[in-house]
Amino acid sequence: MASINCWRCLARPSQRLLLAPVFVAASAPTSAAFSTSTQLSAKTPEGNTRHVRTGKRLILGRKKRTPDKTKPPLSGERKAFRKRIQLSNDNALQVSGLDVLSAENVVNPDSVGKVFGVPSPEVIDQLRTCEAFKSSQNWNLFRSPHMLVRKETVDLAKQMTDAIEKKETLRLVITGNRGSGKSIVGLQALTTGFLNKWVVINIPEGQELTTAATEYSTIPNSEMFSQPVYTVKLMQAIYQTNQSILSQYKVELDHLQLPISVTRNMTLAGLLNATKEPEFSWPVFQAFWKELRLPGRPPILFSLDGLAHIMRVSEYRSPAFELIHSHDLSLVRMFAEALGGKTSFANGAVILGVTSKGNAPIIPSMEKAIAQASAAQKGEQIPPRDPFSRKYDERVFDSLRGVKVLDVQGVSKVEARALMEYWAASGVLRSRVDEKNVSEKWTMAGNGVVAEMERVAFYDLRAAL
Amino acid sequence: MPVSPSYFSRLPHFNDSFVHVQELNRKYARLPTLHPSQVERVAWKTKDQYRLSIGEHVKARDYAACIALVKRLNQIHPDLMPEEVKAGLQPFKRNINIFLNRPKSVPIDQFGRSHGVGKRKSSIARAWLVEGTGEVLINGKPMNEAFGRVHDRESALWGLKSTDRLDKYNVWALVGGGGSTGQAEALAMAIAKALIVHEPPLKTPLRRAGCITRDPRTVERKKPGHVKARKSPAWVKR
Amino acid sequence: MVAILGANFHEKKLVKKALESFYGLGPQASARIMAKYTIHPLARMGTIPAKTVTALTAELSNMTIENDARRIVQDNIKRLRDMATYRGVATQWAYPSVGNAPAPRSRRPRSSTP
């Protein structure tokens, strides 16, 4: 076994193997590291003097195979377990003295480098319904969801609120290195949207739309394809998260071509909830989208995570057995046109594309378009396209024309310290949080990349378990 | 008539030298001497080297007695050292004095960078250290991209960590060859060497931390007739 | 249970697998059929509408699959055998017939000393 942690002794890691091994795991029962009571109450096994040999043991003779008597999990149970999101942990300590995020302090520059709680239960429920929390984020280590407000968060929130006050459209792409917290910044943007009572539409995973895992069908008199089942799911999510806002507005247009009857005294929420029939979902959603953009309606926040997946040719095939470009899928095209500035919003809107570095395809056109947008934003020389490349996709460039770019990098040491103090207060991090320790973890995490900070800080903990 | 009275003895050269050294010792016994710790170090020939140089099989006991006298003579205060003694000691000195060798010191350059090189297995690392806040770039990449394992990251910065200098310097490094373990530990050595340029007193703690010594273990070569370095082919009947 | 061309399939069965269970229908043909009726590759029998199921049955009934496809292969073999070609005979005796290597025998032990 490799050494548990080389910093425990004064030898170089390679030489540590020569030293006598330390048995940490032998006495530690498998329980949550928050509580020491189980470890203390656990009796030492009898016969301590028994010669215990580590390593492989020679087993002679046939291994006896006992058939597994336990029932296999039911269908869908494994996936549910994998995808489940646990937002609270009773073993973690309650952290007192932290403010709750509000529409005011998310745009306040003074709140940079502080940890805020997510207002519960309404915003948490809304975020959960629109699938903003991900199973890859370690929400289950803490008593209740809290977020570190960083420079980028305040910057983004300020840009969003400014644009919506002026009834403009902010089209923005969040980029950054792997594990730098892009999705969390997106989550914070959604939270801002909910706190400001905007209509929030969130597509949690771009790849759910393009990897040919959900139903699709042709749209009559159109070259596009609709995704009826996903659209129903999305409509229900919008209905549940924005019900209080949408029920204040009535339908204003005539929708004679719709397969369901829509009357003038129907609210927008009612329109969304009018049908759960996949066949009718796309026309109804289109009508809703048209209604939402009429003057006098609430501002819109439309967000999508995993931008790279919707910038490529999808895995669906048309009846002529040709691969369908993602932008020919109606929902994706709706987002792409909004992001590319082809759709006009009368009441102000924020269109947010969040890139992802895990399980994301490499799209040269998207990378070039983002690099160009980023250079234009900084006022630098715009990098030209490679004249010999055949891999460029003009539709991708169209959909990213004139977007703003928010580059999320590692956190500063002040923010890192706030984060580690929060971990320590929650009982996850047991070491002392001082300047030296913070600086060390910050360096180890590649200059403060958040996911790596977490990995490095909990490395001792994970190794001991 | 032979030149030397010891011409017919077994060890004519040695005997001549020994007698000469004894005479010198007797002659200059009263000259002031320095304490052994203050005498400039000289690389004396070992018994084997001496045997080889004069071509006579000198007995170890005799050589030890002779070299003790030589060392006693060498303690004479250098200002009063007679030419005769200097010439008499010459056969026992090596041609080069290894104690005068000094490693070439690479100074801190005009930008405040110090440079160090480290090796481990088949990896070679070069590191430049500047005073800073603890930022690390390896091959132009941040730490988390350069080393996937946390263990490797820790071992790469072990020199800085063990001397509490992690947030005092910025590291810019180039690593090549080998795998991640080799690269990380080569880097540890390179960083330690570069750190010594900034702060020479840290050499001893760093040596204790195991960052200065080159780990000589490498892959053993494959031998003919063997499947690997030592593994023999399996025995086959007929 | 969903029936296509007289065969019953469980509702959890992948459409792709169900189509490929017919003799003479491989991955290529099944992918084309599914694209024609806009069924996604991970669709299950229970999720496709009844209209599509009947369309699939109609589509399959016009194709040479199952016994028709088998008969074509058997006729080809029979022709070769009747002509007494090597391929025909080899197929009859289950010998390698299309240029593939014969079954290997056990390997000769290599002596360690030359």
Please tell me the predicted confidence (pLDDT) of residue A162: 94
B154 reaches A (C-beta below 8 A):
yes
Are A307 and A394 members of one domain? yes
Is A164 in contact with A425 (CB distance < 8 Å)?
Answer: no
Query: B111 in contact with C at a CB cutoff of 8 Å?
Result: no
Rounded to two decimals, what is the model's pTM?
Answer: 0.78
Residue, of C94 and A134, whose pLDDT is higher? A134
My answer on whether A352 and A438 are in the same domain is no
Distances, alpha carbon B181 to alpha carbons A240, B125, B150, B188, C31, in Å? 52, 12, 11, 11, 47
Please write the tens of the pLDDT for every residue from A120-144. 788 999 999 999 999 988 898 899 9
Nearest-angstrom CA–CA distance, A260 and A272: 12
- Asked if A300 contacts A339 with a C-beta cutoff of 8 angstroms, the reply is no
Q: Mean pLDDT over all residues of chain A?
A: 86
The residue with greater pLDDT, A27 or C27, is C27
Domain C2-63 of CATH type 1.10.8.50: yes
**Residue A113 is encoded by which pair of tokens?**
């480098």
For chain C, the distance separating the N- and C-terminal CA atoms, rounded to the nearest angstrom, is 68
- What are A142-157's pLDDT values in tens digits? 999 999 999 999 999 9
Answer yes or no: do B144 and A11 touch at CB < 8 A. Answer: no
The two structure tokens encoding residue A196: 């400001």
Nearest-CA neighbor of A136 among A462, A454, A457, A464? A454
**Does residue B167 belong to the interface with chain A, where contact is any CB pair within 8 Å?**
yes
Alpha-carbon distance values, B67 to A207, B41, B50 (Å): 84, 14, 11
Q: What is the C-alpha separation between A277 and B102, in angstroms, rounded? A: 86
Residue A47 has pLDDT above 90, yes or no: no
Residue type at position C60: L
- What is residue A405's three-state secondary structure? strand
| Same domain? A391 vs A419 | no
Q: Which residues of A touch B208 (CB under 8 A)?
A: 10
Whether A137 and A181 have beta carbons less than 8 Å apart is answered as no
Looking at CA atoms only, how far is residue A285 from chain C in angstroms? 21
CA A352, A355, A361, A366 dihedral sign is positive
Backbone angles phi, psi at A400, to 5 degrees: -115, 20
Pairing of strands A169-176, A199-203: unpaired
pLDDT at position C15 is: 93
Instruction: Return the pLDDT at A48.
Output: 53
Predicted local confidence at residue C95, as pLDDT: 82
* CA–CA gap between residue B67 and residue B14 (Å, rounded): 11
**Mean pLDDT to the nearest integer, A393-414:** 93
pLDDT tens-digit map of A96-115? 889 999 999 999 999 999 99
In a domain, A46, yes or no: no
| Pairwise CA distance, residues A102 & A90, whole Å | 25
Does B68 lie at the interface with A, CB-CB under 8 angstroms? Answer: no
Strands (E) across chain C are located at 2-4, 7-9
pLDDT of residue A28: 43
Closest CB from C34, C35, C40 relative to A213: C40
Computed over every residue of chain C, the mean pLDDT equals 86
Helix (H) or strand (E) holding B143: helix B143-146
CATH architecture of B114-208: 2-Layer Sandwich (3.30)
Strand boundaries in chain B, DSSP class E:
114-120, 123-131, 136-138, 141-142, 169-176
Query: Which residue shows structure tokens 């008593």?
Result: A143
pLDDT reported for residue A5: 45
- State the pLDDT at residue A27: 43
Give me A433's structure tokens.
Answer: 């949080």
* Nearest one of C16, C48, C39 to A318, comparing CA atoms: C39
CA distance A8 to A224: 61
* Longest distance between any two alpha carbons in chain A, whole Å: 86
Angle between helices B60-74 and B12-27 (to 10 degrees): 30
Which residues are CB-contacts of A6 (< 8 A; sequence separation ≥ 6)? Answer: A12, A13, A16, B151, B154, B155, B158
| Residue B224 sits at the chain C interface (C-beta within 8 Å) | no
- Residue A440: partners with Cβ closer than 8 Å, 6 or more residues away: B134, B161, B166, B167
Higher-pLDDT residue of B159 and A253 is B159
Give the residue numbers spanning the domain of A183: 82-406
Q: Is residue A179 part of a domain?
A: yes
**pLDDT, mean over chain B:** 92
- Cα C103 to Cα B70: distance, rounded to the nearest angstrom: 84
Q: Which residue has the tokens 């301590």?
A: A48
From chain A residues 400-439, the ones with a CB under 8 A of any chain B CB are: 410, 413, 435-436, 439
Residue A424 lies in a domain: yes
pLDDT confidence tier of residue A372, bands split at 50, 70 and 90: very high
- Candidates C10, C40, C44: best to mutate against A (most CBs of A within 10 A) is C40
Report the alpha-carbon distance of residue A442 to residue B167 in Å, rounded: 10
Q: Which one of C38, C42, C56 would you mutate to disrupt binding with A, by most A Cβ within 10 Å of its Cβ?
A: C38
Q: C110 falls in which pLDDT band (50, 70, 90)?
A: low
User: Is B238 in CB contact (< 8 Å) with chain C?
Assistant: yes
Domain with CATH 1.10.8.50 in chain C: 2-63
Chains within contact range of chain A (3+ C-beta pairs < 8 Å): B, C
Q: Is the pLDDT of residue A192 over 70?
A: yes
Tell me how many degrees the CA angle A48-A52-A56 measures, rounded to the nearest 5.
160
Burial of A186 (0-12, 13-18, 19+ CB in 10 A): buried
Q: Which of A42-51, A256-265, A276-285, A411-420 has the lowest mean pLDDT?
A: A42-51
The reply to whether A135 touches chain B by the CB within 8 Å rule is no
Alpha-carbon span A241 to A204, nearest angstrom: 14
Instruction: Domain count for chain A, please give it.
Output: 2
* In chain B, domain spans: 5-100, 114-208
In sequence order, what DSSP letters do the residues of A314-339 get, joined into one string? EEEE-TTS-EEEGGGBHHHHHHHHHH
**End-of-domain residue from the set A385, A406, A427:** A406
Q: Is residue A33 part of a domain?
A: no
pLDDT of residue C109: 58
pLDDT at A52: 65
For the ranges A5-14, B61-70, C47-56, the lowest mean pLDDT is seen at: A5-14
Give me B9's structure tokens: 């003895």
> Does the residue A2 lie in any domain?
no
Q: Confidence class of residue A25 from pLDDT cuts 50, 70 and 90?
A: very low
Contact in structure between B70 and B44 (CB atoms under 8 Å): yes
pLDDT at C86 over 90: no
Q: What is the pLDDT of residue C84?
A: 85
Return d(Cα A187, Cα A173) in angstroms, integer: 14
Q: Tell me the C-alpha distance between C48 and A433, whole Å.
A: 58
Q: Which of A215, A217, A318 sits opposite C35 (nearest CB)?
A: A318
With cut-offs at 50, 70 and 90, classify the pLDDT of residue A30.
very low
Per-residue pLDDT, averaged over A260-289, amounts to 89
- Using the predicted structure, report yes or no on whether residue A22 has a pLDDT greater than 50: no
pLDDT category at A15 given cuts 50, 70, 90 is low
Q: What is the pLDDT of residue A10?
A: 53
- Measured between CB atoms, does A444 come within 8 Å of chain B? yes
**Residue of chain C nearest B227, judged by CA positions:** C112
Residues of chain B neighbouring C109 (CB-CB closer than 8 A): 236-238
Task: Please give the Cα distance from C36 to A320 (Å, whole number).
Answer: 7
Whether A31 shows a pLDDT value over 60: the answer reads: no
What integer pLDDT is reported at residue C77 of this predicted model?
86
My answer on whether A381 and A426 are in the same domain is: no
- Structure tokens given for B200: 């020479």
A290 with A323, same domain?
Answer: yes
Closest to B87 measured CA to CA, from B20, B137, B42, B2: B20
Percent of chain A with pLDDT over 90: 60
Task: With CB atoms and an 8 Å threshold, state whether C112 touches B237.
Answer: no
* Range of lowest pLDDT (A448-452, B149-153, B232-236, C99-103): C99-103
Residues in Cβ contact with A250 at an 8 Å cutoff, skipping those fewer than 6 apart? A264, A265, A266, A267, A268
Candidate from A58-62, A442-446, B228-232, C53-57 with smallest mean pLDDT: A58-62
- CA torsion sign, A364 to A366 to A368 to A374? negative
A440 with A344, same domain: the answer is: no
